Amino acid sequence: MPDPRSDRFVRSHLKTRHLVLLVELGRHGSILHAAQAANLTQPAASKLLAELEHALNVQLFERLPRGVVPTWYGEVMIRRAGAALAEMDSAHQEVMELLSGLSGRVSIGTVLTPSAGLVTDAVKLIKSRNARLQVSISVDTSKLLTERLRAGELDLVIGRILDSTLAAELHFEPLTDEPHSLIAGAGHPLAGRNDLTLADLASTPWVLPPAGSILRDRLTTLFLSQGLEPPVETIETLALPVVTSLLTGSRMVAALPEELVRPYLDAGLLIVLPYELGLRMDMYGIITRRQHRLSPGAEAMHATLREVAARRYPAAR
């Protein structure tokens, strides 16, 4: 049975300073440094933490000689405290925007491929309808973006849910997968070959995403499954301008969705080499938090993303 003390405490006594302290403890791993960041004395911070643990009847942090480490209960409280503070900041921002006559704000997180097509098209469309809507766009990996979404730092994410345990917390609307082609600079030495083999590509310089990414893992598996060592002459980056610059005028190749580099292909700066990689990524889609009501600006962005996606990916929809 839940301890009724915790319900009474949360409803009647939990203050913003408790939330701030939890977030700072998670960030610094030290009561002293967390207290300084939260503008508290160390004794006051220790008292607040003791109040929380007593009210909840659980240990939130393990006390170690060189700091504190959150328990599982502490991890939950830190995440929820961060989300609550983000909601308060968003509420204040919305009120200030209403007072100043602005039309809202929306923060979007996206993985690389939709950032260069779906998201930009949707932003252009919504700005044509509502020029005063403020839009913030972050490009990163799905893992980091979903963490920021759960913390309330982002309103929407276009990416993948890689952790199945988050299915009950996040809502996923599938859009499309990402077929990848072998991309190189115009005039690449392999451009005229119609008999390319994976062995040829193993000895070719590659531009790759960082280790641990879905694409990197699947490329590695592709070479190993054919009894080949993965390429050793590699450069790691997720930055599209860096990738395209490296490919241009060099022997390097990269596995990229053609959608992502369409302007470069149309301009003749990049080409698709005649080799079928057979690589498709997991489906990405629009991710939102369950049991969370979007602001009017975020709701309008959500609807616009759906509208643009229906045109860009008709087969998938």
Q: Residue 26's closest CA among 141, 149, 167, 151?
A: 151
Strands 156-159 and 105-110: parallel
Q: Residue 59's closest CA among 46, 47, 72?
A: 72
Angle between helices 72-100 and 16-28 (to 10 degrees): 120
CATH topology of domain 102-177+283-312: D-Maltodextrin-Binding Protein; domain 2 (3.40.190)
Segments making up each domain of the chain, as ranges: 4-79, 102-177+283-312, 181-272
105 vs 15: CA distance, rounded Å: 27
For position 101, what pLDDT does the model report? 45
Residue showing tokens 């980056």: 237
260 vs 179: CA distance, rounded Å: 11
For position 4, what pLDDT does the model report? 54
pTM of the entire predicted model: 0.60
Whether 102-177+283-312 and 4-79 are alike in CATH topology: the answer is: no
- Can you tell me the mean pLDDT for 17-34? 91
Is 3.40.190.10 the CATH classification of the domain at 181-272? yes
For position 182, what pLDDT does the model report? 95
pLDDT in tens, 59-84: 999 989 888 999 999 999 999 888 88
2 vs 13: CA distance, rounded Å: 17
pLDDT in tens, 87-134: 888 777 767 765 554 467 899 999 888 888 899 999 999 999 888 888
CATH topology of domain 4-79: Arc Repressor Mutant, subunit A (1.10.10)
Percent of the chain beyond pLDDT 90? 50
